[in-house]
Amino acid sequence: MFRHPSRALLTALLLVPCSGSAAFASLDGVSAFALPVTDPLAPTCDALGGTPEAIAAGDPAARHETIASEFVVVRAGERSTSSVAPGPPSVLESHYVGGRRFEAVSYRPRRQGGAQWHPVTQLHAGFLDPDGPATSGFDMGFRGGHEIDDMFQIGVGLDWRTKSGSATQALQSSMGPAGENVQTQVQLSHFSSNLLPVLVYAQLSGPRRRITPYVGIAGTWEVLFLTADDYVTGSRFDATYSGFGWQAWGGLGLRLSGRAKLVAEAFMNQATLGRDLYDPYYGLVVRETIRADGIGARYGVSWGF
């Protein structure tokens, strides 16, 4: 029937799913009592496009030149197509929001809550030069509060401006044992002045960079303590003045690391301080006032948490 034994064997194998047990019985060396076993991955007669007899006869028209695979049947000359439509490229599910997003689109979770509040503290020292003939005094203080979103700051503060002086009179000059010039003086008077402004302030800073400019303004309640002693007459002066005022400043902050920075600022202080006292000469209560105006500079360090 077949000129070539190999072709007969191949035809017999292809007829297994179609002919059942008869196909097995027609082969030499195969038991007639063996049950037919169908290979699930083998191509069926319908997939091969013909009847068993036509295929066994080797009719190319009946076979339609069909190539079978375990996934799809592809005819000769046709391109393989997938039954699943391709989806959009690199589509991922977002962990934070529903729906889909493309891989090239990055997402950053929104910051929790509203404005960010950070405690902040500043220590500084400098000088305050009052208007008029009075001499300048040493100034030091601190400010503490909360910084909102690294730009706006509110809080309270306290400054201390202090100065003192004395009046002396030289009595004599003499030569010491080793040739030193020894001066003998007498102290005629002594005074001290201490100004304490208590601040409630607001400060606005520029963008957070290596060097950050800032400006601030504060309402103040200021207390001035004045004392003086006249050692010639034995008299003493002691008075306390108080009143409202304000301060304004502007400066630069040099960032060190984290939230710490060095600060340098120029400031202005304006206040009118007074006290009430009884004047026995006039027999009335009179009011004394002192202007505590001046300008100065402060230098220090600021840090936050």
**47: confidence class by pLDDT, cuts 50, 70, 90:** very low
Model confidence at 76: pLDDT above 70: no
Same domain assignment for residues 188 and 240: yes
Note the pLDDT of residue 305: 78
- How many structural domains is the chain composed of? 2
Residue 184 forms part of a structural domain: yes
Same domain assignment for residues 161 and 221: yes
**104: confidence class by pLDDT, cuts 50, 70, 90:** low
Residue 103 forms part of a structural domain: no
Mean pLDDT of the chain: 77
CA 276 distance to own-chain centroid: 52
Same domain assignment for residues 176 and 238: yes
Distance CA(186)–CA(1), nearest Å, equals 149
Query: What is 84-125 written as a DSSP string?
Result: SPP--TTEEE-SSSSSEEETTS---PPPSSSS-EEEEEEEEE
Same domain assignment for residues 143 and 198: yes
Range of the domain at 166: 117-304
Same domain assignment for residues 39 and 122: no
**68: confidence class by pLDDT, cuts 50, 70, 90:** very low
pTM of the shown model: 0.60
Closest CA to 123 of 139, 138, 140: 140
Residue 97 forms part of a structural domain: no
Structure letter (DSSP) for residue 48 = H
- pLDDT: is 178 or 124 the higher one? 124
Residue 198 forms part of a structural domain: yes
Same domain assignment for residues 24 and 171: no
Residue 86 forms part of a structural domain: no
Residue 151 forms part of a structural domain: yes
Enumerate residues 6+ apart whose C-beta is below 8 A from 287: 274, 275, 276, 277
CATH number reported for the structural domain that contains residue 183 in this entry: 2.40.160.20
Task: Give the pLDDT confidence of 233-263 residue by residue, as tens digits.
Answer: 999 999 999 999 999 999 999 999 888 999 9
Closest CA to 213 of 282, 261, 148, 164: 261
Q: Which percentage of the chain shows pLDDT scores above 70? A: 62
Note the pLDDT of residue 30: 47
Model confidence at 80: pLDDT above 70: no
